[in-house]
Structure 1
Amino acid sequence: MIYTIISIIILILVLILLSFLLIPLKLSLYLNKQGNETEGKFTLRFLGIPLFSRKIPEDKTDEKEKKEEKEEKAEKKDKFSLERILKILKLFKESLPYIYGLMTSIYNAVTIEKFSVNMNLGMESPADTALFTGYIWSFTYPLNALTRIDVNINPDFQRRVLDGNFQMDVNIRLIGIVVEAIKAYTKKPVRELIKEVRQ
């Protein structure tokens, strides 16, 4: 009887894990900038259920936490000697074929549902604004026509400004990423690179 219950629990856990790997996760990011104020939200959903959500900017940490973070960063900086940097670069070069496979799997696993940028742009002079806006339009117009990327740049010739909003919704299927990550981790150079960077 107890073995049957354990088998059922293991089967349920395996099915839950497979569902996370096979059913895409949805990542949503929204940012809005007006003047000096920036606000936004990041959300991770599974089957429409929010798993993780965070406002941007985050609530400020107290002074003690900030001081501890600064001390940790200072300690990490001290650890990065020239010899260690060269060692990391060497390990990265040896790991590159496996990292490339992982990056390719991430690229293939991501599907863009929505990518929208709406920006008001003004520079120091109207000529600079027109020139820069023209460059951006020449690059984004083909993207708007051929992909789900929607970029709208509105020139402002009266003032210096960079305001607007950004919205992105993407689906990520984890199965390929997990498989490639496991394959990469089985390679000695990758394990050594991770170990060296974490020290």
Structure 2
Amino acid sequence: EICEKKSRFICHVKPVETEEEATAFINAIKKEYWDARHNCSAFVIGRNAELTRCSDDGEPAGTAGRPMLEVLLNEEIRNVAVVVTRYFGGVLLGTGGLVRAYQSAVKEGLNASKVIEKKEGVRAVVTCDYNLSGKLQYIFEKNKYAILEAKYEENVSFILLIPTGDFTRVQKEVTEASSGQTELTKEDECIYAVVDGETILF
């Protein structure tokens, strides 16, 4: 939240995957802050910003929604919706003042949020004997690959998360390290992110 000449600008930020999710979020904020003068919004969906929308919600054209959208695009933030709620303080800010206030509110909202980078990955599995498990584990830890699950039964099985671009190289490394005794096989493809050292699957 920021204050500009007695007007309050409150920024709400939410990750969204579809236009329907973004619209539902915007409508929910408008309903919650029904007594505010304006609830201006912007959202960007798609890795290459394939879908963008913005609304001035009664502010002079081009002074709110578009400047808010430009912050998201310039910061290369994707799959997110923002709503800035304005409680009018009685002092007109002028066109330039409005643009600065709405952009500042979005920047503050993003600064208070945790931005995560989604990546394409492969969930892969490898099974080996106990003698080989230490060597393979060293390879995975050296490359900083997340071991999602380890099963210690008659043999050892590792389920790993590997960046898509690394899979072929690591597959070859596992085959060579095991002298062809085992191989890394692909289970499925997924989207993931690493947040504060923790791997999150989507």
Of Structure 1 and Structure 2, the greater strand share is in: 2
TM above 0.5, yes or no, is no
TM-score, structure 2 length as denominator? 0.20
Q: By percentage of residues, which structure has more helix?
A: 1
Higher relative contact order (CA 8 A, sep 6+): 1
